[in-house]
Every structure is written in structure tokens, then in C-alpha cells.
Amino acid sequence: MNDNLAVRLTDVSLAFRLAKNKTGSFKDFGLSLVKGQVSYEQFWAIRELSLEVEKGEVLGVVGRNGAGKSTLMRLIAGVFPPTEGRVIVSGRISPLIALGAGFNQDLTARENVIMYGTLLGSSPGDMAQRVPDILGWADLTKFEHVPIRAFSSGMMARLGFSVATDIQPEVLIVDEVFAVGDEVFRAKSRDRVSALISSGATVILVSHDLKRIRSFSDRAIWIDQGRIRQAGNPIEVTRRYKNAVLEADQNTRKKPPPNP
């Protein structure tokens, strides 16, 4: 791998198995599964995708819902192994994909901070020392010994973001986290991501906010049906993407309604 590359994907494809059987209930599906009567088909979420991201680069990713953006982020983060091809990431990676998804509901905030930070590559001892700062940034200090099953979704998001960005990552994946939490949290999140960008971290930013993609990104890619449809200047890529979305929406509205 080129020493100047943080991320390289080579001819990567990812397929999911989808059950074709239509059943009326989970029980019916279970019975069909036991009897060996369930058949499957492959759904290719990512197809023959190659991508290189340089160290220190901010890559913006746009695309409609279901285009494969989040699946691509999970491939880069190592959540999914590719069905075909190769994914190489250089350096410590912090994925802000589903904030709090890796937490244990029965553990306290303190215990989850230590566990989650350890999964991201830090030692338990280092994380134990970082707990006060992490909880303080998330404004959750007084909930240190509370099991997080009692947390609201906003509290979970603040805690997950604080842990993942507390220690300088080499590669940061940001998947729509600016859309969660209240405005105070969103402003703090933007400031922290801006600081990470300024410090030289490689950032892959997924967002439906095209203004944010244009303002943050050095380069952008447009994902469509699991493939890169266009890559290049963020202004040009977002303009082409926006025009395609508007055209598709107009064509949809022009279609006659289905017969009753």
C-alpha cells in the first residue's frame, strides 16, 4: 500500500443473502427454516468498487438512501468483510456510524466508556483515566454510575461521539452524526470534527447536507446502486448529484397513478 494512502479499496463487492420466502409470521419462517424450505437470493449492496483516500484528506460521500453509503462505511470500518476484493486501512480508525451501537445496556456509562475505548484500540488503563474528560464533554458526569439502559437516545449519542473522538484517530468515519442530538450537541460535534480535520486526520464524511460536504471536503464521491457514479471536485459532484435527484423526483411525479 502506498505510504501516503490511509484507505484503499480494490474491486470490493459485498453481497447479502435475502430470504425469498414470504411468510405470515416469524413462527412460520422458523418452521420453514427448520424444514429446509427457505430459499435465498443474493443482493449486491456494493459492486466492484475501488477507492483510494490519501492521509489527511477529507472525502465527502453523497447518495440517496439505500445507495450503499453506510454499507461502504461499514466495510471500511471492518464491520463487514467484503464478499470480493480487498480493504486496507492504515492507522487507528474511529467509526461514527451508529453512535452507541456497541454499548452494553446493562453496564454503566463508566464501564461502557472503558469497554468501547478498548474496542477502538486503547488500553483499559488509559480509558479509565480518560473517563472524567469523556463524560464531561458529553455533559454526563453525574450519570457515570448509571446503567445506560436508562439513557435517552440523545445521551447515548453524546456518549458514543465523545468516546470515539476523544483520542486522535488517523481515520475518522462520520456517517450523518450531525443529524442527531440537540443543537448544542450538533455544534460541539461540528467543532470537534473541525479540530480533527485541522490536526491532519483522514476524514470520510457521509451527509445529505450538500453545503456541509462542499465546505468540509477536499474531494467527493457520489454513490449510486453500490457503485461510484462520479468522483472529483465537491462542488461539481454535489451539483451533478442534486440535479439527478431533482430530475428523478420530477419523473416520478409525472408517472400516472397505478390502477385501483
pLDDT per residue as tens digits for the range 79-100: 899 999 999 999 888 777 766 5
The set of residues, in sequence order, having a beta carbon less than 8 Å from that of 38 and lying 6+ positions away, is 19, 21, 29, 32
Q: Which residue has the higher pLDDT, 11 or 189?
A: 11
Q: For position 36, what pLDDT does the model report? A: 59
- The pLDDT score that the predictor gives to residue 242 is 95
Class of 5-34+42-254 per CATH?
alpha beta
What burial letters (b/e) apply to 208-230, b meaning 16+ CB within 10 Å? ebbebbbebbeebbbbbebbbbb
Spans of all domains in the chain: 5-34+42-254
C-alpha cell at 140: 454526563
Is a pLDDT exceeding 80 seen at residue 180? no
User: Could you read off the pLDDT of 35-74 as tens digits, one per residue?
Assistant: 555 556 788 999 999 999 999 999 999 999 999 998 999 9
Whether the predicted pLDDT of 167 surpasses 90: no
Which residue did the predictor score with more confidence, 174 or 140? 140
157 phi and psi angles, rounded to 5 deg: -65, -45
Q: Tell whether the model's pLDDT for residue 10 goes beyond 90.
A: yes
Give the percent of the chain with pLDDT over 90: 48
Question: Is residue 206 pLDDT above 70, yes or no?
Answer: yes
**CA angle 233–97–181, rounded 5-degree value:** 100
pLDDT of residue 240: 96
Residue with cell 457514479: 229
Kindly report, residue by residue over 97-126, the tens digit of the pLDDT: 766 566 888 999 999 999 888 877 788 999
